[in-house]
C-alpha cells in the first residue's frame, strides 16, 4: 500500500512538473492556413488573405461589413464610435495555454481560421474552411433580439493599384494603359478598362483581383441569390443578400474565394 501511495505521489509530481515545463514553450507568432499561394490568418481587424513578406492584406472585417436598411442607408457592424471607444472585443488574442495547444494542433495541418468580434448588441463570427485553393467563408451574426429578414453585406477589401475585373474582361479599376497592355501580354487574357461606374453589380457573381506586387489571382464567387458588387470608391468587393434568421437571432452568410496561379487559370477555374 505504501508503495502504491508513494508511486502515485511521484507520478502526480512528475505529471505536474512536466505540465509546468510545457507551459514555458514559445508559441509561433502566427500560424496561418494556406490556400494556393496565399495565407489566411486572424488580425486585429478581421481575417486577412496575404502573402509571406509582401505586406498586402485582403481583409474580411466587421468594420467594413454592413447592414442595408429599407430607406437605403447602411451602417457597419462595428461603428466608428465603437472602434474609437474600444467597446468591442475580439478573440484572436487567445490566452497563453490556448495558444500553445492550438499551435501544437495547427502544426499538423490547419485548414480553418476563425475570429469572433463581440460588440454591445451583436456577436460576429467569421470562419473560413480551406480546401487546396478554395476558401469557403462563412459569417454568422447573432443580434441581441431580432426575428426579421435583413439585408446584410459581406466585404473583401482590395488595394488601390489592383486589377479588378470580371469574367468578360471588363477592368473596373483605374490602371494606366501601358500597364493594361503589359498585363494582357504577360497573362494571355484581354482586359479593357470600364470606368463608367463607381459601383457595379456583376451578373454572373464572379470577380477577379490581381495585385501587380503579389503573385497569383484572387477569384471571388457569390451564390446565385446574392449581389456581388465592386465598390471602387471604398475599395471593397461587396457580397450582399437578404438573410432570414436561424433560431430567431442568428444570420448566416457565405461566399467563396478561389486562389489561382495565373489570370488564365482563373478564367478557366472560376
User: Quick check: 188 binds another protein (CB under 8 A)?
Assistant: no
The only residue of 46, 216, 219, 266 in contact with another protein, by rule CB under 8 A: 216
User: Quick check: 31 binds another protein (CB under 8 A)?
Assistant: yes
User: Quick check: 177 binds another protein (CB under 8 A)?
Assistant: no
Closer residue to another protein in complex, CB, 212/248: 212
Closer residue to another protein in complex, CB, 113/241: 113
Residues 172, 200 contacting (CB under 8 angstroms): yes
Cα 22 to Cα 214: distance, rounded to the nearest angstrom: 39
Site string for another protein, 67-86 (x = CB under 8 A): --------------------
Closer residue to another protein in complex, CB, 1/73: 1
Least separation in angstroms between residue 25's CB and another protein is 4
223: CB partners within 8 A, 6+ apart: 205, 241, 254, 255
The only residue of 149, 176, 195, 212 in contact with another protein, by rule CB under 8 A: 212
Residues 115, 46 contacting (CB under 8 angstroms): yes
Beta bridge partners of 151: 68, 242
Q: What angle do CA 190, 192, 197 make, to 5 degrees?
A: 140
User: Quick check: 98 binds another protein (CB under 8 A)?
Assistant: no
Question: With b meaning 16 or more CB within 10 Å and e meaning fewer, what string describes 198-233?
Answer: eebebeebbbbbbbeebebbbbbbbeeebbbbbbbe
Q: Which of residues 37-66 bind another protein (CB under 8 A)?
A: 37, 39, 51-54
Cα distances from 7 to residues 2, 19, 20, 21, in angstroms, run 8, 18, 20, 21
Catalog residues that contact another protein under the rule CB under 8 A: 3-4, 6-8, 10-11, 13-15, 17-18, 20-32, 34, 36-37, 39, 51-54, 100, 103-104, 106-109, 163, 179, 182-183, 185-187, 210-216, 261-262
Amino acid at each position: 500500500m505504501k508503495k502504491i501511495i508513494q508511486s502515485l505521489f511521484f507520478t502526480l509530481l512528475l505529471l505536474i512538473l512536466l505540465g509546468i515545463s510545457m507551459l514555458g514553450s514559445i508559441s509561433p507568432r502566427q500560424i496561418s492556413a494556406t490556400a494556393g499561394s496565399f495565407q489566411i490568418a486572424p488580425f486585429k481587424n478581421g481575417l486577412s488573405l496575404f502573402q509571406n513578406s509582401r505586406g498586402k492584406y485582403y481583409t474580411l472585417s466587421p468594420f467594413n461589413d454592413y447592414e442595408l436598411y429599407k430607406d437605403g442607408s447602411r451602417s457597419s457592424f462595428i461603428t466608428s464610435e465603437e472602434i474609437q471607444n474600444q467597446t468591442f472585443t475580439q478573440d484572436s488574442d487567445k490566452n497563453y495555454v490556448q495558444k500553445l495547444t492550438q499551435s501544437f494542433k495547427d502544426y499538423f495541418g490547419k485548414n480553418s481560421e476563425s475570429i469572433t468580434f463581440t460588440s454591445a448588441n451583436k456577436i460576429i463570427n467569421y470562419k473560413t474552411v480551406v480546401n487546396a485553393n478554395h476558401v469557403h467563408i462563412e459569417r454568422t451574426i447573432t443580434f441581441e433580439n431580432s426575428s426579421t429578414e435583413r439585408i446584410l453585406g459581406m466585404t473583401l477589401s482590395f488595394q488601390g493599384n489592383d486589377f479588378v475585373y470580371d469574367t468578360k474582361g471588363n477592368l473596373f479599376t483605374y490602371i494606366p494603359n501601358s500597364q493594361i497592355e503589359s498585363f494582357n501580354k504577360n497573362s494571355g487574357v484581354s482586359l479593357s478598362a470600364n470606368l463608367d461606374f463607381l459601383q457595379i453589380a456583376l451578373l454572373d457573381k464572379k470577380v477577379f483581383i490581381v495585385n501587380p506586387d503579389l503573385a497569383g489571382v484572387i477569384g471571388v464567387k457569390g451564390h446565385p441569390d446574392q449581389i456581388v458588387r465592386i465598390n471602387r470608391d471604398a475599395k471593397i468587393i461587396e457580397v450582399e443578400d437578404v438573410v432570414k434568421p436561424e433560431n430567431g437571432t442568428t444570420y448566416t452568410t457565405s461566399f467563396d474565394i478561389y486562389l489561382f496561379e495565373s489570370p488564365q487559370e482563373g478564367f478557366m477555374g472560376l
